[in-house]
């Protein structure tokens, strides 16, 4: 059985299996998945890590991921993709399991996964860069998106050229509850906005701060 299919299925079934993964097993899986997701790593090493991670799941949960007829999951009938790590299960991929287990959030699957990839592909600063410029990367009004390994990525649109945050960004992020929903706040800034005629982030520094804040406030009051 293709190990990437097993790992993709584990992501799809996360709500069913998560509570059954004790900490030692989580740590071992995370170590293998860290190798699997490492772009540029030796392909044989990545495949070996996928084999080891899948073997752990088959060993601990044979009724879900076993290779024989005793498994509840018939992976071969549900595969999406053709070979290697491109194989998926119900729209989930191996990367989704790494996100759930290592990065610690649920922006995964056929709907939220593409949103995660789009938002994480936007230019961003790391926490150390913001600190070096005298800012506070952990201010609740700033958007922090968990990237690979759970490390925070702060979308760079939030900062002026000197890496200090725009005041209107802090105001709008507070309205959007960025501390509780950083993905939703980032999506608002980076997606086309019918009222503004452009992604809101494009208007920073244009003198339209009041319009940005009023638009965000109107959105939140309407919910």
Q: What is the pLDDT of residues 35-90, one digit of tens each?
A: 999 877 788 999 999 999 999 999 999 888 876 655 566 555 455 555 566 778 88
Stretches where the chain sits below pLDDT 70 are 67-85, 222-223
**Which two three-digit tokens encode residue 165?**
């945050």
pTM: 0.88
Residue 93: partners with Cβ closer than 8 Å, 6 or more residues away: 8, 11, 85, 86, 113
H or E element in which residue 86 lies: none
CA pair distance 138, 119, nearest whole angstrom: 19
Supply the pLDDT for residue 161. 83
User: How many residues make up the chain in this entry?
Assistant: 223
**Which two three-digit tokens encode residue 189?**
């800034």
Supply the pLDDT for residue 87. 79
User: Residue with structure tokens 């009051």?
Assistant: 221
The DSSP code sequence of 30-71 is HHHHHHHT-TTS-HHHHHHHHHHHHHHHHHH-HHHH-SSTT-
Supply the pLDDT for residue 119. 98
User: Residue with structure tokens 């004790």?
Assistant: 22
Burial of 119 (0-12, 13-18, 19+ CB in 10 A): buried
């Amino acid at each position: 059985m293709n190990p990437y299919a097993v790992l993709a299925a584990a992501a799809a079934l996360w709500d069913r299996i998560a509570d059954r993964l004790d900490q030692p097993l989580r740590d071992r899986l995370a170590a293998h998945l860290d190798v699997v997701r490492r772009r540029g790593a030796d392909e044989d090493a990545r495949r070996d890590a996928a084999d080891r991670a899948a073997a752990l799941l088959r060993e601990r949960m044979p009724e879900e991921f076993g290779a024989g007829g005793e498994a509840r999951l018939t992976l071969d009938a549900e595969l999406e993709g053709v070979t290697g790590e491109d194989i998926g299960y119900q729209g989930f991929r191996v990367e989704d399991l790494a996100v759930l287990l290592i990065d610690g959030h649920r922006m995964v699957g056929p709907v939220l996964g593409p949103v995660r990839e789009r938002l994480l592909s936007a230019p961003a600063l790391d926490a150390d860069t913001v600190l070096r410029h005298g800012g506070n990367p952990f201010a609740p009004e700033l958007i922090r998106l968990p990237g690979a390994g759970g490390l925070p990525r702060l979308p760079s649109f939030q900062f002026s050229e000197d890496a200090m945050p725009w005041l209107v960004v802090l105001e709008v992020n507070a309205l959007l509850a960025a501390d509780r929903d950083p993905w939703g706040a980032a999506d608002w800034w980076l997606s086309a906005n019918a009222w503004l005629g452009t992604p809101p982030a494009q208007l920073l520094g244009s003198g339209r701060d009041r319009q940005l804040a009023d638009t965000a406030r109107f959105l939140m009051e309407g919910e």
